[in-house]
Amino acid sequence: MSVEIGLFADTGDDSAGAPEAVTAGPAEALQLVFGSAEEFLHEQLLPTYVRDVDDRSAKWCMEWYFHPEAVSRVEALWRAWEHLRLDGATGISIWWRDHADHHMRILLDPQGPFYNCDRTAHRDPEHLEPKLAPDGWFPDVRVQ
């Protein structure tokens, strides 16, 4: 029996122990469901992770791709989803608990990466401009 929950699929067969796609031979490459983090955001994440974004308790920027932290977090969510969707036993739960809930709480936080934006306008975030440490404090460990 196969059950689909969103784009996660539960084969219902836990007897094998490992997801079928993980045990595929080296010649068989795993196929991604989504071709990019943006496609994942539009097709899976935002349609299933629905919240009231009122700019007081939650914020989002319609031009989220101008925020490097947001891009990195959406990319992380997508890659984790693509990996965990293959686990028919607990993959969905792990993805929600450890990935979606964690990253979306930070992304939607009014003090998060979209703090300077509102629902209708993107405003470039202010970037920290730290000074470089004195020479020798952080030697390049790649050099021998």
Q: Which residues contact 45 (CB under 8 A, 6 or more apart)?
A: 74, 77, 78, 81, 100
The structure tokens listed for 11 are 């084969």
Dihedrals phi, psi of 102, to nearest 5 degrees: -65, -55
Q: How confident is the model at residue 126 (pLDDT cuts 50, 70, 90)?
A: confident
User: In this predicted model, which residue has the larger pLDDT, 100 or 14?
Assistant: 100
pLDDT (average), residues 36-55? 94
Does 3 have pLDDT greater than 50?
Answer: no
pLDDT (average), residues 112-141? 89
Q: What torsion, rounded to 10 degrees, do the Cα atoms 36, 37, 38, 44 define?
A: 100
Cα–Cα distance, 17 to 136 (Å, whole number):
51
pLDDT (average), residues 5-21? 47
Please write the tens of the pLDDT for every residue from 73-84: 999 999 999 999
Q: How confident is the model at residue 55 (pLDDT cuts 50, 70, 90)?
A: confident
Q: What torsion, rounded to 10 degrees, do the Cα atoms 79, 51, 97, 62 define?
A: 20
Percent of the chain having pLDDT more than 90? 64
- The structural domains of the chain, with segments of one domain joined by +, span 52-123
